Amino acid sequence: MRFLVFLIALFVIGCKPATEKEPDKSIKREKPKISLGDQFELEVGDLLFQDLDCGPFCDAIEKVTFGVNGAQFSHNGIISRIDNDAVWVLEAVIKGVVETQLDSFLIKSADSKGQPKVLVGRLRNEYLHLGPMAVENARRHLGKSYDDYFDILNDRYYCSELLYLAFKEANGGQPVFQLRAMTFEDPDTKEPFPKWVEYFQELNYSIPEGQPGINPGSMSRSIYLDIVHAYGKPEGWRGSTLRTRD
């Protein structure tokens, strides 16, 4: 189980190895800071595309998936609530489907300058009304398990699968984003990435090579979506300007 513990430690903020000592609460520690620059006005239903730095696992995802203008993404979520004092993101992470405050979401991918490597996608006008409905659909799955198996048919969810199904339901059963055949192979060697081999061995499950799935990168390239804001610069992103809505 060591590899699964490794993944959990990477993806769950506040999770720590069992052997780590409890922190001394008498010592005041500064929270990590993020720099947001101008305060962009988010809307419920906006999609956040994130370039996480989690070592070989994220590297494997980003090597075989391609985001808008070359951006490398390994995670995404959806703006679910905007309160007076907080913005919330619905996302599927290793601990399951959860709602996370925006600052906590962004800080997971802050670069050395404190800028989150996150782009904001917004549906174009003809699909904009689907956003709030998709949020309500996704909200019904709060607390459900993460889809370790990447199986589109089970009642478990990985990040982009949750959003794909939420928008499909909002659109009367017609997909807004498209499924594609998944690959877990290194394009250089034509063999599965060692981390994926280890991952699925831990699960005692066959690698679902070629099965239908979806990823944050392909969603970011949707013709129905505009990139309307950049909190920072994801790895590989060549965008110096943002697409605007019609």
- Per-residue pLDDT averaged across 77-92, rounded? 95
Report pLDDT for 31: 43
- Per-residue pLDDT averaged across 42-52, rounded? 97
pLDDT bracket for residue 64 (50, 70, 90): confident
Compute the mean pLDDT over every residue in the chain, rounded to the nearest whole number. Answer: 85
pLDDT bracket for residue 19 (50, 70, 90): very low
pLDDT bracket for residue 56 (50, 70, 90): confident
Report pLDDT for 25: 37
Phi, psi angle pair for 87, to nearest 5° = -115, 140
Report pLDDT for 57: 73
The answer to whether 216 and 50 have CB atoms below 8 angstroms apart is yes
Task: Give the domain ranges of the chain.
Answer: 41-230
Query: For residue 55, is pLDDT > 80?
Result: no
**193-225 core/surface letters (b: 16 or more CB in 10 A; e: else):** bebbebbbeeeeeebbeebebbbbbbbbbbebb
- Per-residue pLDDT averaged across 76-84, rounded? 96
Structure-token match 């997971």, residue found: 108
Report pLDDT for 27: 37
- Per-residue pLDDT averaged across 29-37, rounded? 50
Q: Can you list the pairs that 178-182 forms with residues at least 24 positions away whose Cβ atoms lie under 8 Å?
A: 178/214, 178/218, 178/222, 179/152, 179/212, 179/213, 179/214, 180/212, 180/213, 180/214, 180/215, 180/218, 181/210, 181/211, 181/212, 181/213, 182/150, 182/208, 182/209, 182/210, 182/211, 182/212, 182/213, 182/215
Rounded to two decimals, the pTM is 0.83
Query: For residue 225, is pLDDT > 90?
Result: yes
- The terminus-to-terminus CA distance of the chain in angstroms comes to 49
d(CA 204, CA 216): 26
pLDDT in tens, 115-165: 999 999 999 999 999 999 999 999 999 999 999 999 999 999 999 999 999
Report pLDDT for 62: 78
CATH fold for domain 41-230: endopeptidase fold (from Nostoc punctiforme) (3.90.1720)
DSSP assignment letter at 165: H
CA atoms within 13 A on the CB side of 122: 17
- Per-residue pLDDT averaged across 85-90, rounded? 94
Report pLDDT for 38: 59
